[in-house]
Amino acid sequence: MNEQLLKLFRERPEQYISGEELSRTLNCSRTAVWKHIQALRGHGYEFESASRRGYRLVRMPDRLNSAAILSGLRTNIMGRRLHIFDSVESTQTTAQRLVAEGAGEGTLVLAEQQTIGRGRMGRSWHSPEGKGVWMSLVLFPQIPLPFTPQLTLLTAVAVCRAIRRLVSVNVGIKWPNDLLIEGKKVCGILLESKAEDERLLYIVAGIGISANLSAGDYPEHLQNIATSLLIESGRAVDRNRLVGETMAQFEDLYGLYRQEGFEPIRLLWEALSVTLGRSVRIPSKEGSLTGTAQGIDEMGALVVRLPDGEIRKIYSGDIVMQ
Ligand code: BTN
């Protein structure tokens, strides 16, 4: 009910909607409408009310909220089942537990804060309270295990498109799946999967978007390498909308991937990439290599041309753009 009510107000921003219209559309009494408005007020929504004109939504709370997400969600599956927590160790861990308990495809776990947020390659992920979009999406893709990196790249394209739709920032993808604005990281993606006998059972796609962090929210070692949508655009982003838009973009791309395979995703990734054409350094135990990033191949590996013309493919790890 709160979800339907919010949908009506969001469709007509700034406008009054009469109690009569609300009760007619929602098929409930005007007292029930008033009770729902009161409940939303309790969650931090601010309504103005005027006799004969009705109610007007003037401010949404800056909290992750399932009614706010669902009222704007255009998906059939992704994000339809939502679990929102104030604080968890890692949404990845929570999502994996939910899978063990029977959670289905598209289940989304969100948290205001993570106390042990995980990054790639054993790193930690800075996840302060109330400022980011820290979320994990449950997927059961019917793909061979070695194709999993393709979904990492698909996720990066989905988040990049969602951010571009809602915020005016020049965000691009650094291989394999970091989102950068002006060279600084604004989003990281971590896919964790479970397989048995070489068969993929499920994937949990972890997405961390530094949405509304201020410069002071970063520890010193991240100050020069990380940024947020707020810092870059000067405006706080509505995190609930960003969640919904990311789910919508993901569902569209996932559908495309299932129908046409990786090729269209590969082209979209290349179009959004900030890595291609750049000189990159690939650190490895045997010593680092330097070359020019040419593209990604049909499995998602980065294709690099070395100074002597030799082509190398990089399947995992990190690169340094120079
Ligand atoms: C990286 O760039 O190293 C990946 C960072 C992934 C962070 C997200 S936040 C939500 C989800 N839960 C986690 O513990 N990690 C991912």
Measure the CA–CA gap between 306 and 308, rounded to whole angstroms.
5
pLDDT score recorded for residue 253:
98
Yes or no: say if 37 and 55 are a contact pair by the CB < 8 Å rule. yes
Protein residue with its CA nearest to atom 15 in ligand 1: 118
Q: Is 94 in the pocket of ligand 1 (CB under 6 A)?
A: no
Q: Which parts of the chain sit beneath pLDDT 50?
A: none
Q: Which ligand 1 atom is nearest residue 89's CA?
A: 14
Q: Identify whether the C-beta of residue 322 lies closer than 8 Å to the C-beta of residue 280.
A: yes
**Residue 91: C-alpha distances to residues 125, 178, 242, 257 (Å):** 11, 19, 17, 25
Q: Is the CB of 208 under 6 A from ligand 1?
A: yes
Cβ-Cβ contacts under 8 Å for 318 (sequence gap 6 or more): 120, 121, 283
What span, in angstroms and rounded, lies between the C-alpha atoms of 127 and 308? 43
CA of 127 to the centre of ligand 1 (A): 9
Nearest CA residue ID for atom 9, ligand 1: 208
- With a 6 Å cutoff on the Cβ, whether 136 touches ligand 1 is yes
Task: Note the pTM of the prediction, 2 decimals.
Answer: 0.89
159 contacts 138 by C-beta, under 8 angstroms: no
Apex 213 CA angle, 207 and 217, nearest 5:
115
Query: What is the per-residue pLDDT for 62?
Result: 85
Whether the CB of 92 sits within 6 Å of ligand 1? yes
Q: What pLDDT score does 236 carry?
A: 93
Query: How many angstroms is it from 118 CA to the middle of ligand 1?
Result: 5
The reply to whether ligand 1 has any atom less than 6 angstroms from the CB of 137 is no
119 lines ligand 1 (CB under 6 A): yes
Which protein residue's CA is at the shortest distance from atom 16 of ligand 1?
A: 206
54 C-alpha to center of ligand 1: Å? 43
